[in-house]
Amino acid sequence: MSSVAKKKGFGGHIWDYLTTVDHKKIAILYLAAGTLFFAIAGFEALLIRVQLMIPNNDFISAGLFNELLTMHGTTMLFLAATPLLFAFMNAIVPLQIGARDVAFPFLNALGFWLFFFGAVFLHLSFFLGGAPDAGWTSYASLSLYSPGHGIDFYVLGLQISGAGTLISGINFIVTIITMRAPGMTFMRMPLFTWTSLVSSTLILFAFPPLTAGLFLMLVDRMFGANFFDHTMGGNTIIWEHLFWIFGHPEVYILVLPAFGLFSEIIPVFARKRLFGYSSMVFATILIGFLGFMVWAHHMFTVGLGATANAIFAVATMAIAVPTGMKVFNWILTIWGGSIKVTVPMLYALGFIPSFVAGGVTGVMQAAAPLDYQLHDSYFIVAHFHYVIVGGIVTALFGSAHFYWPIMFNRALNEKLGVLTFWIFFIGFHLTFFLQHFLGLMGMPRRVFTYMADQGWDTFNFISSIGALMMGLGVILLVINVLISIKTPPLNRRDYWGDGRSLEWALETPLPFYNFKQLPLVRGYDPYWIEKEEGNKEGMVYAEPMGDIHMPNNSILPFIMSIGTFIAAFGALYSPWGDQAKAGTAESVSPGLSLALLIGGLGLTVLCMITRSVKDDYGYHVHKEEVEQVEKELAEFRAKGGKR
């Protein structure tokens, strides 16, 4: 049962991670998988920028450009940003609320493996006939007539991956509502926990419309159902509604946890309580609510009419108000603080102007007449990336430095971190700032090349140089991570010295049960309160030392996800699809298609039945074992992390 690292063979480590339900290990799985797909999507972006570096370039073909463009957007949003944020939610939220794990550990593992196999399935498209090529939004008029299986990979991969995200979102809602430590009222929860709760609630309501749209797209392509084919009585615009009812809240699903991460970083390095905590909570909830009221601002040029456009324009402008409240509160937290500039704080300071720039251009586009001019131009690309990179990626990089000591009992190198920040930050602004002007000069997005001497050449060249700088920054971050593996273990609590919430009260390496006794929370910033009162333990306890209940590991989530993976191939190579009938996509015999489909789903259902029939009550770590683990950990720390 010990948390102290024991010598295991390679196979033992692999089995441990395949079967784990521990939120800390699942966080590492999300971090590793998210980093892999972030690197893939980043490489795709570099290929796009190299192609656009000079006019009339033939570095890649038009068809491959469309595939790279589609996969870059899809991968970054669904398969990189989302899992990386879930990595921090898994690693930190249970610690912040004083819980020993999430509410449903089995579902936590299932959510990860569904996401992972959906992502792998989607990326196999590059090797099995071609990737999706209709843009990350996959508008129906393009995707229905796309030859080959690219769009089928998109639909099926996102269905599987989206099911995992939905499961994880439900899990965090239940965890945060029901598993808070004694004294941890809602208005004492850290901001990252609050933003994780609101983001998970958005997942609960935003993913079903996407799931419905993907299902309709699937039966359109598999069976010619004609939901979206306007030539057969369908409605192409319905796809846009279904997609953006999901797609706009998706931006807040990603950016709200990023806000929460910065709301943890800034008070620590300003050495001040977060300014306006109650208003920050209110603003978070309001952003989540208004996030569902603005989806049609992506459709101002569709022809919904002046009334609809006006309503959605006003709603879009309104959502800037709670966002502005947050920005002012971050600035006022810094104002008058005893500021310590570290790598996480650098990312926080860089985030504020970058995200504000993205927000301002968003409010500009809320004016429907201006959006008519800017629509589908590079101005939109610049705005979107200022929000996503300036808001979310900076949060991920800053939080990696901030929480690395808790997650891995190591610290990332500060000097290399500062160098990484400046290279990435300068590269980011070089890449996307000039794209605003490219858009204003009329350059449309999603074009694979352009004619010379239109005034776009220099700006595109500089933009591509900036993208290469961003790539170098990411490489330096990876090098920093690799270097940290060889650094000595920290074996301490409160690495930054000014931690405020419960996760900093725990000494690393963390025991597998997190808390030997559940803490008693006596106010907002509970660890800060205990430090001010001279409590060396960092917390007071709400219960005496006793037995701890923990969940059993299970291989079933992994097998269930493999089942959906197999079934997806049965649907993919269906002989009944329009593309298969037209001879533009490969198919298999009806028998084999049904065998894969039924066999894969049968395997998943069999695992569900096994899970239902077999009583799995977990196990108890007895008081004596807890004391033994604590003793071993103390010896481990005293020896500097040596066995």
How would DSSP label each residue in 50-112?
HHTSSTT--SS-HHHHHHHHHHHHHIIIIIIIHHHHHHHHHHHHHHHTT-SS-S-HHHHHHHH
Predicted local distance difference test score (pLDDT) of residue 7: 59
> Coil, helix or strand for 619?
strand
How far CA 639 is from CA of 301, 489, 491, 632, in Å, comes to 66, 10, 10, 11
* Residues ≥6 apart with Cβ < 8 Å to 50: 57, 59, 464
Q: How many angstroms separate the CA atoms of 200 and 203, rounded?
A: 5
Minimal CA–CA distance to 27: which of 113, 86, 99? 86
Fold of 10-554+616-638: Cytochrome C Oxidase; Chain A (1.20.210)
Strands 548-550 and 540-541: unpaired
Distance CA 218, CA 66 (A): 21
- Give the DSSP letter of residue 516: S
- Rounded Cα distance between 457 and 46, Å, is 17
In DSSP terms, which residues pair with 444 in a beta bridge?
377
pLDDT of 242-291, one tens digit each?
Answer: 999 999 999 999 999 999 999 999 999 999 999 999 999 999 999 999 99
**CA-to-CA distance for 554 and 22, rounded, in angstroms?**
11
pLDDT in the model for residue 2: 44
Kindly report the pTM of this predicted structure.
Answer: 0.95
> Contact at 8 Å (CB) between 366 and 383?
no
pLDDT along the chain (643 residues), means of 10: 58 93 97 97 97 95 95 96 97 96 96 97 93 92 88 95 96 97 96 97 96 93 86 91 94 96 97 95 96 92 92 93 95 93 97 95 92 94 96 97 96 97 97 96 95 94 97 97 94 93 94 94 94 90 93 96 95 82 80 93 96 91 94 87 56
Cα 628 to Cα 22: distance, rounded to the nearest angstrom: 20
DSSP 417-478: HHHHHHHHHHHHHHHHHHHHHHHHTTPBTT-S---SSSS-HHHHHHHHHHHHHHHHHHHHHH
